Amino acid sequence: MNIILIGPPGAGKGTQAKRMIDRLQVPQISTGDMFRAAVKEGSPMGKKAKEYMDKGALIPDDVVIGVVNERLAKADCKKGYILDGFPRTLDQAKALDGILKSMGTKLDHVVVIEVPDDYLVSRLTGRRTCRGCNYMHHIEYDPPKKSGVCDKCGGELYQRDDDQEDTIRQRLNTYHGQTSPLIEYYSGQDIVRMIDGTGSMVQVQDAITAAIGA
């Protein structure tokens, strides 16, 4: 099953992807996680990517498309995947169409997690991400048992550099300007599943499960 997750920053794309991969037995491909790994490594691509991420802007399409193209060619994607945070522009969506065509596959579901901006700032300022396994806790909505320590793997929790209020506002603008038009782009195909992302994590998970039938 090939799925893409679309939603504003903090909508719960990563949270839901992590719940879906166990059930569907396919990998989560988060371009954000991939670029954060490149930043951590200090590679030239990571250094360049950080400039865009810190501004709440998108990394240039050619760089992102190259990274995703390579990732989708790996063996673990044969049974399907959940793309978390890609595509984010019309050019990325068109490039993905080309990749799918060349692989002889197609998208099964475009899951759009809708959450109004008002909810998102508190979700993101309260998020604490694990350095080890990338799990996302929240200080109020999903607090770790021990402060600063990931429940899943015992790794150290940190606050993402782009989870500062100014940058969050920029990321929201970027989403509304460049990414939300993708919903219209995919609406011609019968694959768009609109999900109310304002409920609890379990409610959102149940809504996605019902919408994709798995």
| Residues at the site binding ligand AP5, with contacts judged by CB under 6 A | 7, 9-15, 31-32, 35, 52-53, 56-59, 64, 85-86, 88, 92, 123-124, 127, 136-138, 141-142, 162, 171, 200-201, 204
CB of 142 to ligand AP5, least distance (A): 4
* 18 given a catalytic annotation: no
Contact partner, 110, from Mg ion, ligand AP5, none, Cβ < 5-8 Å per class:
none
CB of 9 to ligand AP5, least distance (A): 3
Contact partner, 120, from ligand AP5, Mg ion, none, Cβ < 5-8 Å per class:
none
Nearer to ligand AP5, 109 or 171 (CB): 171
CA-to-CA dists, residue 44 to 5, 63, 68, 170, 199, angstroms:
28, 12, 17, 24, 40
Contact partner, 12, from ligand AP5, Mg ion, none, Cβ < 5-8 Å per class:
ligand AP5
**Spatial separation of the C-alpha atoms in residues 204 and 197, rounded to whole Å:** 6
Contact partner, 99, from ligand AP5, Mg ion, none, Cβ < 5-8 Å per class:
none
Nearer to ligand AP5, 19 or 26 (CB): 19
* 71 given a catalytic annotation: no
CB of 136 to ligand AP5, least distance (A): 4
* Binding track, positions 13-32, relative to Mg ion; x by CB under 5 A: -x------------------
CB of 30 to Mg ion, least distance (A): 6
CB of 24 to ligand AP5, least distance (A): 17
**Spatial separation of the C-alpha atoms in residues 170 and 45, rounded to whole Å:** 22
Tell me: does residue 9 bind Mg ion (CB under 5 A). no
Nearer to ligand AP5, 104 or 116 (CB): 116
Residue type, 205: Q
* 171 given a catalytic annotation: yes
DSSP string computed for the chain: -EEEEE--TTSSHHHHHHHHHHHH---EEEHHHHHHHHHHHT-HHHHHHHHHHHHTPPPPHHHHHHHHHHHHTSGGGTT-EEEES---SHHHHHHHHHHHHHHT----EEEEEE--HHHHHHHHHTEEEETTT--EEETTTB--SSTTB-TTT-PBEE--TT-SHHHHHHHHHHIIIIITHHHHHHTTTTTEEEEETTS-HHHHHHHHHHHHT-
Residues designated as active site: 13, 88, 127, 160, 171
